[in-house]
Chain A
Amino acid sequence: MEYQVDYELEELVPIVAKLAEKYTGIDSSSITYEKANQLMEAVIYCIHENDMDMIQDEDLSNLEDKTETNNVDEADLKRSAYKANREIRQLERSNAEEAYKTGKNLVKQKVKRALELYHELLPEFDSYGNYYLDQTIKKGMPEFFKWYDVDFEPQNTLLTLDYPVLRELCNLEGIDRIYEYLRCIQLEQRFLGKMKREFVIQCLVKYNSSYKNMVDNLCPAVLMALEERKMQGIVTGQVLTSYETYYEGDEEMIRYLMPAVKEIIIRNSQFVVKGDIS
């Protein structure tokens, strides 16, 4: 996908030219189309980062309040806010080079924040034996931080992120995507970590006996088991711990897990209806 910015090509080209000179040093006076495109995308990515930063948190929360459903990705919210602010910013925007420099610094700061997040996550991290989660976090992430190129290719995510998170991230690239991905993993770890490890494993085995090699998210398996328990509790009148208590007060986690929970509830209700008919 390609980000868009409100600058004319004539304003961006001199920045690309400077970047190209920096890229080749004094060694080369020409580059391939492919490389030139890559550098243009790098410039656009940084400017876009600057544009996104101009959207205040306050605006975001206002938008969130107005949103009818909770099932809206944060990225979608940001995009909406971005579009809404476009016209205003066209009137009072900085020049392209300034926007690029500021954006690049923001990218660097985000890399730093992502690294901090990763270090925070790592000590308690548990893949529960799932190969893809384990590989992505323990092997993929260090490689990302090692090779990520802020100067010449910040738009490259580098990793395939094989373990899927519950939030749609395909509209993000580079560090934006990695940062959001790590935040999702952090939320998942927080959710799963509130339960006994044995219980989580038991849920996963029940969901898929070869869960260690499954390319699915782990949370729905646990949520399904919890939902099942909840239903049994209602039917038999037994007092069971409601799974809501696991993320009580954690708004961010609720927002993250809610789409999966809703899906499970819908699936279960269909099952009940079918059962009644038969």
Chain B
Amino acid sequence: MDKNWMELLRQKNQIQIIKQTNEYSEKYGLTLTEQDAKVLVTERKGSLQTQKRVEFGQGVLPKLIYAFCDSAYITQENYVDMLTQLQELFYLFKNEMMDEITDDELICFMKEQFETICYGDLEYLGGTCLDIFAQAIRAGYRDYRDSEGEGAYHTLDEVPRWDYELYQEALRDLF
């Protein structure tokens, strides 16, 4: 059947829905103009087509906005760009994880790593954290379900993040 019917599934009033998130995000100094919302909707369409997915209902963008708008690494200047990349990563890894993970679990995982491991670096988030997590999920890892994605990465992380002994040693050298 013609793929065009999937276009019909997509919500028409996305711009309005996205703009409504301003009510919440403006307390963190982040707002989206009509033009920004249009850009995001266009980018969303492109990402969905690239990832061969179809979205229905409100879509994931409002959820991403509510989850990430309080981040210290997102400013008004990079807000639209960050959201564009976040939704791209979201759809890509939804596929990479073979739909085994729910929207909320994936967003929770992304936000946690974005803040604590990546320090706002989306390249590291996609190229390392999400990639390792996706590999684990494809291999059958399901422990994240108990915590809905929270704290799941530290068991999979290949990089030693904090060496207590080394810290103590450095501290002793200093004083």
Contacts and interface: CB of A to CB of B under 8 A. Distances in A.
A33 interface: yes
Given A27-B103, A30-B91, A32-B95, A37 B1 contact: yes
Most A Cβ at <10 Å: residue of B48, B54, B56: B56
A275 to B, nearest CB: 55
A39 to B, nearest CB: 10
Interface in A154-197: none
Contact of B6 (A2, A10, A29, A36): A36
B56 A21 contact: yes
Interface size class of B (residues with CB under 8 A): 20 to 34
Contacts of B95: 32
B5 A13 contact: yes
A33 B54 contact: yes
A214 interface: no
A40 interface: yes
A29 B57 contact: yes
Interface of B: 1, 3-6, 8-9, 48, 52-60, 63, 91, 94-95, 99, 102-104
Contacts of A13: 5, 8-9
A223 B59 CA distance: 62
Given A30-B60, A32-B54, A33-B3, 19 more contacts: A9-B5, A12-B5, A16-B9, A17-B56, A17-B57, A20-B9, A20-B54, A27-B102, A27-B104, A28-B103, A29-B59, A29-B60, A30-B54, A30-B55, A30-B59, A32-B52, A33-B54, A36-B6, A40-B1
A16 B55 CA distance: 12
Contacts of B99: 28, 31-32, 35
A30 B8 contact: no
A98 B11 CA distance: 23
Nearest to A19: B56
Contacts of B54: 20, 30-33, 36
A13 B12 CA distance: 14
A13 B99 CA distance: 22
Nearest to A37: B1
Most B Cβ at <10 Å: residue of A13, A21, A30, A32: A30
Contact of B8 (A10, A32, A33, A37): A10
Per CB-CB distance, the 8 closest pairs between chain A and chain B, nearest first, are A27-B102, A30-B55, A13-B8, A33-B52, A9-B5, A36-B54, A30-B53, A17-B56
Contacts of B4: 9
Contacts of B56: 17, 20-21, 29-31
A30 B5 contact: no
A26 B151 CA distance: 22
A37 B54 CA distance: 10
Contacts of A34: 52
Nearest to B59: A29
A238 B102 CA distance: 77
Contact of A30 (B1, B3, B48, B104): B48
Contacts of B102: 27-28
A34 B1 CA distance: 11
B121 to A, nearest CB: 25
A27 B59 CA distance: 12
Contacts of A21: 56-57
Nearest to B7: A13
Nearest to A41: B1
A42 to B, nearest CB: 12
Contacts of B91: 30
A33 B3 CA distance: 8
A95 B57 CA distance: 23
5 contacts: A28-B103, A29-B55, A30-B55, A31-B53, A33-B54
